[in-house]
Amino acid sequence: MQREGYWDYMGRRMREDGVLAQLAEEKNYMYGNTNYLSPTKKEQSLYRRIEELERKVSLLISDHPKQLELDI
């Protein structure tokens, strides 16, 4: 009789104990039910607003030749 390899043995034990089923169930719960990779509409609108404000700030800070500076 040939001896069972270590990884074959551990895989068989995990299948028998139901550990693999539990891990698969947890993975589905963690990744399947939540849609964490795609932002919601609210988040998308917030990202767009942030980009818009960053553009406005960069225009205000830029050294535009027509920008006047006052010595107070």
pLDDT in tens, 43-67: 888 889 999 988 888 877 766 666 6
- Give domain status of residue 72, yes or no: no
- Give domain status of residue 39, yes or no: yes
- Give domain status of residue 43, yes or no: yes
pLDDT of residue 49: 92
- Give domain status of residue 17, yes or no: yes
- Give domain status of residue 54, yes or no: yes
Q: What is the mean pLDDT of the chain?
A: 76
pLDDT of residue 29: 64
- Give domain status of residue 21, yes or no: yes
State pTM to two decimals. 0.36
Residue 19 has pLDDT above 80, yes or no: no
- Give domain status of residue 71, yes or no: no
Query: What does the alpha-carbon distance between residue 23 and residue 29 come to, in Å, rounded to a whole number?
Result: 10
- Give domain status of residue 44, yes or no: yes
Question: How many domains, the chain?
Answer: 1
Distances from the Cα of 19 to the Cα of 39, 47, 51, 67, angstroms = 32, 41, 46, 67
pLDDT of residue 28: 67
Print the domain residue range for 36: 6-61
Tokens found for residue 45:
């609108």
State the Cα angle at 11 between 7 and 16, rounded to 5°: 150
